Amino acid sequence: MFTHIKTSKINKHVVTELSRKLNLGTENIISRIALAYSVSKGRRFSVLDIKDSQGKEYSKNVLFGNNYPFYLALICTYYGIHKTDRDIPKYFKIHIDDGLELINQEMLDNPNLNGFDYIIDKVEAGLKEFG
Per-residue pLDDT of the chain (131 residues; tens, 9 = 90+): 689 999 999 999 999 999 998 888 899 999 999 999 999 999 999 999 999 999 999 999 999 999 999 999 999 999 999 999 999 999 999 999 999 999 999 999 988 888 888 888 888 888 887 76
For the beta carbon of residue 56, count every other beta carbon within 10 angstroms.
23
Q: Judge contact between 38 and 98, C-beta under 8 A.
A: yes
- What are the extents of the domains in the chain? 4-130
DSSP codes of every residue in 9-58: HHHHHHHHHHHHHHT-SSHHHHHHHHHHHHHHTT----GGG-----S-EE
* Topology, domain 4-130: Arc Repressor Mutant (1.10.1220)
Helix 88-109 × helix 27-40 angle, to 10°: 100
**pLDDT score, position 67:** 96
